[in-house]
Amino acid sequence: MPNGESSISVAESSIPDGEPSMSAGESPRPGRRRWLSVVGASIVGATFVGCLGGGGPSYESGSIPAVNGSNRTAQQQVAATASATTSTASGVSPVESLSLVEHSFVYEGGYQGSTVQGTVKNTGASQAQLVEVRTRVYDESGAQLGQYMARTGDLAGGDSWAFTVIILENPAVLDRYEITVLGVPG
C-alpha cells in the first residue's frame, strides 16, 4: 500500500448492528435505529394529530354580507385592537351544555366596526366557570385572515350570554366566518 495506508475489507470494518454492509455504488439503507426513530416519530405524530382532530370543536358557518362600511381611523383601530381578543383561553374544550343559540355578522359604527354577535345558552344545570366563543374569518379565496374571541365567566345553568366578537379586518375583505363555543365546566 502506498504512503502507509492499510487495507480493511468491509467484513473487517465496524458496522453497527442491524446495518447491512454496502458494496461500491450501492446507496445506504436506513439501519434499525433509523427505522425505529422514524416509526416512533410517526406514532407520536399520529397520536398528536389524533388529540387535536378527534375531540376538537365543531364550527358553524356564517355568511358576511356586503357592507357599506369604511376603514377604522387610526384612533379607532387602536381602540379596536385594545378591545379585540386574539388569544385563546387555556383549558377550554367543547362542553355539551353550552350551545350557540344564534349568531350573525353585524357592522357597528365607530371603533367596533366588523363584529359577530349572538347568544350562548348554558342548557345544563351546572355553572360553567368560563365560556369562550371563537370566530375565524375568511376572505373570498378561503384564506383564513384571523381568529377572534369573546369570553365570560360564571355562566349559571339555564342562563344566556349575549356576546360581541370584534374583528380587526376591514369588512370589504371579509367573505365568511366560522364560529364555535367552548368552556370549562363548573
The answer to the question of residue 58 being in a domain is: no
Indicate whether 30 belongs to any domain.
no
- pLDDT of 128 above 60: yes
pTM of the model: 0.70
Residue with the larger pLDDT of the pair 121 and 36: 121
Quickly state the pLDDT bin for 22 (edges 50, 70, 90). Answer: very low
Q: Which run of H or E residues covers position 80?
A: helix 74-83
Cell of 145: 385572515
Residue 138 lies in a domain: yes
pLDDT of residue 70: 80
Q: Give me the mean pLDDT over the 161-171 stretch.
A: 96
Of 141, 132, 147, which Cα lies nearest the Cα of 177?
147
pLDDT above 70 for 129: yes
What residues are paired with 155 via a beta bridge?
128
Higher pLDDT, 69 or 5: 69
User: For position 175, which CATH number holds?
Assistant: 2.60.40
Q: Does any domain span residue 142?
A: yes
In a domain, 55, yes or no: no
Give one DSSP letter per residue of 4-57, joined into a string. Answer: G-----GGGS---TT-----TTPPP---HHHHHHHHHHHHHHHHHHHHHHHSPP
**Count of the separate structural domains present in the chain:** 1
- Residue 54, pLDDT score: 53
The pLDDT of 160-183, averaged and rounded, is 96
57/93 Cα distance (integer angstroms): 7
26 is a domain residue:
no
Whether the predicted pLDDT of 52 surpasses 70:
no
- Cα gap 120→73, rounded to integer Å: 31
Kindly state the average pLDDT of the residues 32-39: 46
121 lies in some domain: yes
3-state DSSP assignment of residue 126: coil
pLDDT at 80 over 90: yes
Range of the domain at 122: 71-185
Please indicate, yes or no, if residue 3 is contained in any of the structural domains: no
